[in-house]
Structure 1
Amino acid sequence: MGAVAAVVIFVAAYVLIATEWIDRTKVALGGAALMLLLHVTDAEKAFFSEETGVDWNVVFLLLGMMVIVSVLRRTGVFEYLAIWAAKRARGRPYRLLLMLVLITATASALLDNVTTVLLVAPVTFLVCERLGLDVVPYLIAEVMASNIGGAATLVGDPPNIIIAGRAGLSFNDFLVHMAPLIILLMAVFCLLCRWLFRGAFRYDEARVAEVMALEEREAVTDRRLLIQGLAVLALVVAAFVLHPVLHYEPSVVALLGAGLLIAATRVTTEQALAEVEWPTLVFFAGLFVMVGGLVETGVIGEVSQAAARATEGRLDLAAMLLLWGSAGLSAIVDNIPYVATMSPIVADLVHSAGSSGGDPAVLWWALAFGADLGGNATAIGASANVVVLGIAARNGTPIGFWTFTRYGLVVTVITIALTTPYLWLRYLL
């Protein structure tokens, strides 16, 4: 009965999250409460077990990075970057799009992509309004760039954080295995933007002159805080990279960085915590409890065995099915709950694969690439997509589901198609 209850609760929660009939945080909390109420799991397993409990490393890593970004936001540095990009592009629409896309992708690799789009999107409205440009193509391009760029590092995309925790992967592992292809995919994406949004690049000389007259330095409201924030961010990123030497978990590094920034600046604790995405953190906690219930009742184990039988022990077949299947499923549902569900299954597949026929770690990279890039396919495929659509709606420029999806499907198919030979050549041959 426990397994049946776990499956029913989880499937119902999945449907509600995918359809957005109810706020996803409420769904995650409700599902976790039902798991505990029906004794599918208990408090000890839900809150303290490494295998079936909340992954506090994920929660506190996000919390620490959100605090750092909250402080940086107060300096105006992101507005500075947007105006700087517009002036460096000399108001040319396509050049501007490239600048904003590259800034977004780079920032998403260092921060999480949801935080990045929250900061960049409002500035995009300002710049496009001044240049008389349709903001929709720019917003869509930015959110897709954030999903692609975020895939390059451990902290860039929430699914990567979950995978790292389950697989024991470091910040450097993601840089070595993910970043090289992501750089190539970003170059291809920049070329795609020229074709996908070709009807949106209108040039208005009068408006361009107005933008060129702006002084980007005026956007920075607190230079001292900016220097302090960038110094701490640089230390945090360096500590991520030096994890094999320092042996500090990313969550510890992020919290230490957040604490140092609050202690060394005039920003109060209340101000630093005010802009933390608490619903996102609570969503993660509830989600981990629900997935833990599936593990505890043996459902995950049964699915793992079925997956192993379906691939008949062939690592190449398992990797390709995982890559394309993850992309397809992440297009339908948010990639965060998908990866949380799949990671224990992939762990079992990696363990059972041994070392024959290639590198079993390819399964982790197939899951990461598929989920991260598949999130671009539809408007609900990734949290960053939903955030940007919400910002657009509040600013009177709604982006329809199919408006986003008709571009997203093209980008996803092309990027996943390019990922396929990369996995084959690097891990399977």
Structure 2
Amino acid sequence: MTVAAWLALVVFLGAYTLIATEKVHRVAAALGGAGVMLLIHATGAEAAFFSPSTGIDWNVIFLLLGMMVIVGVLKQTGVFEYLAIWAAKRARGRPFRLMVLLVVITALASALLDNVTTVLLVAPVTFLVCERLASPVAPFLIAEAMASNIGGTATLVGDPPNIIIASRGGLTFNDFLIHLAPLIVVLLAVFIGLCRVMFRKTFRYDPDRAAEIMALNEREAIADRRLLWQSLVVLAVVLAAFVLHPVLHYEPSVVAILGAGTLVAVTKVTAEDAIREVEWPTLVFFAGLFVMVGALVETGVIAQVSRAAVEATQGRLELATIGLLWVSGVLSAVVDNIPYVATMSPIVADLVHANGGDKVLWWALALGADLGGNATAVGAAANVVVLGIAARNRVPISFWQFTKYGLVVTSVTIALCVPYLWLRYLV
């Protein structure tokens, strides 16, 4: 590697260490790392702010901003209180049943929406229902973030890396459903079992609290019915536009901003109230992280590491598939899986061509990159958003609190992918 590549790697590892150890605030670490990358010319203004492959992903930033505004308006209607009471009553006040319900809802929603939008919608409900049941909220939020990443793996639109893979590999929405959705159903069931073990101390049933919940009328929680209907119509149009992206060709970020602007324009909600719920520290953290990872791409660090791993398995499809699965899982736990997949996809395309067009390598890349995002607190966008929401609500989740569970979930789910890929495609 070049001197610039080594320097970029040292800066990234230093910033990542600060984030992981929480010696300084993660926003300060990300911004500081980004600043140093620019200072040592590992990246420049053009590459950091305007390049689609090595710069800040403004689509992600504005998607988050738009959806945060919509969620902020929805919060004023009382609909999240309604959903919290409804969910708690369906679970009959039992915390584990509630977690299963929220995990399944999150995973299914993430298969149709992007996983970040899903956690933005589910998190407010989680805070309210856990408060009602006097249950710690952190385990529920962690489980939902992981469920969103697992569920999003099942479809083309569920996780951004899948869109990149579909474009490079010529894959359709139905291809993802046929090849990945059956496995994701199994992984989700296994994940629920892991939640029962990992968070077992959380599931303390309080009969008195449960009786209070069952006596509540969720309809009384709605504070503004007119605003609720206006918000739901806008949200429905936004979600429909997400699903119809292959037909409409509007980026999710454009749809989210249009939806947020429309909602503020047609309702009595003021601009100040609309942006009050925006997680500005989370957006800034993402910007810094994108610049740092972009510098690794710009200096060739990610490409060199990926190429070395692929070259070691050339000519052996079985080894290439399983190796790509695990390497993708490990690297996606450390760097954002979007630039990783963007870097790896040309290499995988060449490998697929060299192996007679066998598409198992695309599925290995998708599974490794998507599921690997669960391993650490910064491995996937949904994880970062959940940590930001938790901090805003004064229930901070530390890097290692998330990661100690994430490493278990990622190891188990990726390990289960090995026999699936082997038996379905390689034997």
* Range class of TM-score, shorter chain: 0.7 to 0.9
Aligned twin of 1:345:
343
> Hey, what's the Cα distance between the residues in 1 that align with 2:131 and 2:377?
23
Cα distance change of structure 1 residues 298 and 417 upon mapping to structure 2, 3 Å threshold: closer
- Provide the rounded CA distance (Å) in 1 between the counterparts of 2:181 and 2:233: 24
Are residue 122 (structure 1) and residue 127 (structure 2) matched? yes
Deviations 1:143-187 (A, max 9, x none): 44344334446776xxx3356358747994796365443333223
What is the RMSD computed on CA atoms of the aligned residues?
Answer: 3.7
Residues 246-265 of structure 1 correspond to what in structure 2 (within 5 A)? 246-265=248-267
Whether the 8 Å contact between 2:130 and 2:136 is mirrored in structure 1 is no
Aligned to 1:98: 100
Structure 1 window deviating more from structure 2 (237-246 vs 136-145): it is 136-145
Q: Distance in 1 between matches of 2:393 and 2:42?
A: 44
CA distance in 1, matches of 2:256, 2:175: 17
Letter in 2 for 1:297: T
For structure 1, which runs of at least 5 residues remain unmatched after alignment? none
After TM superposition, the structure 1 stretch with the greater mean CA deviation from structure 2, 340-349 or 64-73, is: 340-349
Give 1:187's aligned residue.
Answer: 189
Query: Is 1:68 paired with 2:73?
Result: no
- Which amino acid counterpart does residue 65 of structure 1 have in structure 2? M
Identity among equivalent positions (%) equals: 63
Contact 1:288 1:340 in 2 (8 A): no
Query: Match for residue 353 of structure 2?
Result: 355
Q: Could you tell me which amino acid in structure 2 is paired with residue 370 of structure 1?
A: G
Contact 1:25 1:283 in 2 (8 A): yes
Q: Match for residue 323 of structure 1?
A: 325
Residue identity matched to 1:415:
T
Counterpart position of 1:416: 414
Q: Aligned-pair distance for 1:117? A: 5.7
Spell out, residue by residue over 1:44-74, the C-alpha distance to the aligned partner (whole angstroms, 9 max, x if none): 2322233333222222222222222222222
Q: Per-residue deviation at 1:84?
A: 0.6
| CA distance 1:369–1:72, change in 2 (3 Å) | farther
Report the CA distance between 1:80 and its aligned residue. Answer: 1.4
| 1:61-119, Cα deviation, whole Å (9 max, x unpaired) | 22222222222222222221121111122234443332233334345553515524642
1:242 & 1:319 partners in 2: Cα distance? 32
CA distance in 2, matches of 1:242, 1:347: 24
Q: Distance in 1 between matches of 2:285 and 2:418?
A: 32
Q: Is the 8 A contact 2:127 2:137 kept in 1?
A: no
**Aligned with residue 58 of structure 1, among 23, 44, 60:** 60
Which residue does 1:228 correspond to in 2? 230
CA contact (8 A) 2:133 2:210 kept: no
CA contact (8 A) 2:293 2:336 kept: no
d(CA) in 2 for partners of 1:202, 1:31: 42
Q: 2:10 aligns with which of 8, 16, 20?
A: 8
Mapped to 2, the partners of 1:212 and 1:234 lie a distance apart of 29
Over 3 Å counting, the alpha-carbon distance change for 1:40 and 1:284 in structure 2 is same
Q: 2: distance between equivalents of 1:320 and 1:88?
A: 41
Kindly report which structure 2 residues correspond to 1:126-275, keeping only aligned pairs within 5 A, or say none: 126-129=131-134, 138-152=140-154, 160-161=159-160, 164=163, 168=167, 172=173, 176=177, 178-194=180-196, 196-197=198-199, 201-275=203-277
| Contact kept in structure 1, 2:387 and 2:397, CA below 8 Å | yes
Please tell me the residue identity of whatever aligns with 1:12.
G
Residues 33 and 184 of structure 1: CA distance in aligned 2, closer, same or farther (over 3 Å): same
Aligned-partner Cα distance in 2 for 1:393–1:17 = 15
Residues in 2 aligned to 1:20 and 1:370: alpha-carbon distance in whole angstroms: 27
Cα distance, 1:244–1:198 mapped onto 2, change above 3 Å: closer
Counterpart-to-counterpart distance in 2, 1:389 and 1:289: 20
Displacement after TM superposition at 1:235 (Å): 1.5
Q: Take 1:127 and 1:174, find their aligned partners in 2: how far apart are those partners?
A: 42
Change (3 A) 1:344 1:100: closer
**Given the superposition, is the C-alpha separation of residues 195 and 121 from structure 1 closer, same or farther in structure 2, using an over 3 Å criterion?**
same
Find the aligned partners of 1:252 and 1:329 in 2 and give their Cα distance.
30
Q: 1:325: how far off? A: 3.3
Q: CA 1:163/1:45 → structure 2, altered by over 3 Å: closer, same or farther?
A: farther
The letter of the residue matching 1:412 is T
For 1:308 and 1:68, locate their aligned partners in 2 and report how far apart those are by CA, in whole Å: 43
- Decide whether the 8 Å contact of 1:66 with 1:277 is kept in 2: yes
Q: How far did 1:213 drift?
A: 1.0
2:401 and 2:290 map into 1 onto residues whose CA distance is 32
SS in 2 for 1:275: coil
In 1: Cα distance, 2:51 partner to 2:379 partner:
29
- Letter of the aligned partner of 2:261 in structure 1? G
Q: Is the 8 A contact 2:282 2:388 kept in 1?
A: no
TM-score when scaled to structure 1?
A: 0.81
Q: 1:164 to 1:278 in 2, by over 3 A?
A: farther
Cα 1:291–1:406 change in 2 (3 A) is: closer
Are 1:310 and 2:312 an aligned pair? yes
Secondary structure (helix, strand or coil) at the match of 1:355 reads helix
Structure 1 residues 75 and 91 mapped into 2: Cα distance closer, same or farther (>3 Å)? same
Asked whether the equivalents of residues 46 and 289 of structure 1 are also in contact (C-alpha less than 8 Å), the reply is: yes
The answer to whether structure 1 residue 42 and structure 2 residue 47 are counterparts is no
